[in-house]
Amino acid sequence: MKAVLSKEVGGPEKLVIEDVAMPEAGKNQVLIEVKACGVNFPDVLIIQDMYQFKPPRPFSPGGEIAGVVKAVGEGVTHVKAGDRVLASCGNGGMAEYVVASAHGTMAIPDGMPFEEAAAFLMTYGTSYYALKDRADPKKGESLLVLGAAGGVGIAAVELGKAMGLTVIAACSTQEKVDFCLSKGADKGIVYPTGDLDRAQQKQLSDDIKEAGGGGVDIIYDAVGGDYAEPSVRAMNWEGRYLVIGFPAGIPKIPLNLTLLKSCDIRGVFWGAAVARDPKAHAQNCAEMFKLYADGKIRPHVSNTYPLEKSADAIRELMDRKAMGKVVVTM
């Protein structure tokens, strides 16, 4: 079978495509013929050895896939050969076949295209866990989403609206803000790119306060860097700041701000939460599929690439050009 391989540390240009041996499903595993593979920011990091998990090389990037079950290992009863499924596989998804754990594999609705299924679980799973389980949202509260046009960001916009929140989308361009408004955001903010000086940070904080009517209750930060502190400064009393990711760098937030606002900084590690409480994850997935069936959420696949162009797909995320999800198709 063909697979995209990371054989040395580096950017997408270091990836190669080679023929490799077909994997086999072991105990509590599922062999899946991959039809589509969602591309996520961890794929940018993992090939550069910058992610928290470093699989031994050679490995294929791609942590979420959709496809058809070809075989199941001992102990697998909830799916069978021929079933349409999605799966979280950590890595290995940019290949014609992949082996996934049974607990990370689930059937998808008949009407869900493979491209949407491959763009569903990681973004909506992360954002649903963040908002439902970590943010304690209350209907009518305000939600600021930093990096709102990206995969997890636009999922947070849609889910925030479905939860009855007032959603403010913050992005690097007006085009991205307009995209978020078309997906249900109530308001939008364009923030500057690069390193922000103190004046730019103060202006960003003022812009957030104005959009939120004096402040915001929940901050979903998928950007980090210089955007974190001004966002916290714009937080309402007893607000909740959700730590999602750091493409702009790991921020340093003065803790006196949490005292002055009696607010919380809450980490969001969805992958670990799934492993620690699979029953809660299964319940969340059922609720998300219901939202999908009701038309309240739907993955926005902005671009697709064939397997041989996987490096270009990862580069699109690396250069922060994606709006919604990028998917590699087989």
One domain for residues 116 and 130: no
One domain for residues 10 and 131: no
Residue 197 has what pLDDT?
A: 96
Domains identified in the chain, total number: 2
Residue 52 has what pLDDT?
A: 82
User: Which own/partner contact pairs does 269-274 have at CB distance under 8 Å and 24+ positions apart?
Assistant: 270/122, 270/125, 270/126, 270/129, 270/130, 271/88, 273/129, 273/133, 274/88, 274/104, 274/125
Nearest to 310 by CA among 34, 33, 125, 31: 34
For residue 128, is pLDDT > 90?
A: yes
Q: What is the pLDDT of residues 59-82, one digit of tens each?
A: 999 999 999 999 999 999 999 999
Identity (one letter) of the amino acid at 256?
N
Q: Is residue 115 part of a domain?
A: yes
One domain for residues 17 and 84: yes
Residue 110's CATH number? 3.90.180.10
Q: Is residue 289 part of a domain?
A: no
Q: What is the dihedral of CA 145, 266, 134, 63, to 10 degrees?
A: 70
Mean pLDDT of the chain: 96
Which of these three, 271, 286, 320, is where a domain ends?
A: 271
The model's pTM: 0.89
Which structural domain, as residue segments, surrounds residue 310? 2-120+299-329
Q: Is residue 128 part of a domain?
A: yes
Residue 321 has what pLDDT?
A: 85
Reduced DSSP (H G I as helix, E B as strand, rest coil) percent helix, strand, coil of the chain, to 5: 35, 25, 40
For residue 125, is pLDDT > 90?
A: yes
Residue 191's CATH number? 3.40.50.720
Q: What is the pLDDT of residues 21-37, one digit of tens each?
A: 999 999 999 999 999 99
Query: DSSP class of residue 270?
Result: H
Q: In which region does residue 217 sit, left (phi positive, over 0), alpha (psi from -120 to 50) or beta (all else)? A: alpha
Nearest to 74 by CA among 33, 102, 35, 48: 102
One domain for residues 90 and 186: no
Q: In which region does residue 136 sit, left (phi positive, over 0), alpha (psi from -120 to 50) or beta (all else)? A: left
Residue 53 has what pLDDT?
A: 84
b/e 221-235 (16+ beta carbons within 10 angstroms → b): bbbbbbbbbbbbbbb
Proportion of the chain above pLDDT 90, given as a percent: 92
Confidence band of 191 (pLDDT split at 50, 70, 90)? very high
Helix (H, G, I), strand (E, B) or coil at 19: strand
Q: Is residue 205 part of a domain?
A: yes
One domain for residues 14 and 92: yes
Identity (one letter) of the amino acid at 181?
L
One domain for residues 39 and 127: no
Residue 190 has what pLDDT?
A: 98
For residue 240, is pLDDT > 90?
A: yes
Residue 155 has what pLDDT?
A: 96
Write down the residue that tokens 């000086």 correspond to: 197
One domain for residues 116 and 15: yes
One domain for residues 309 and 248: no
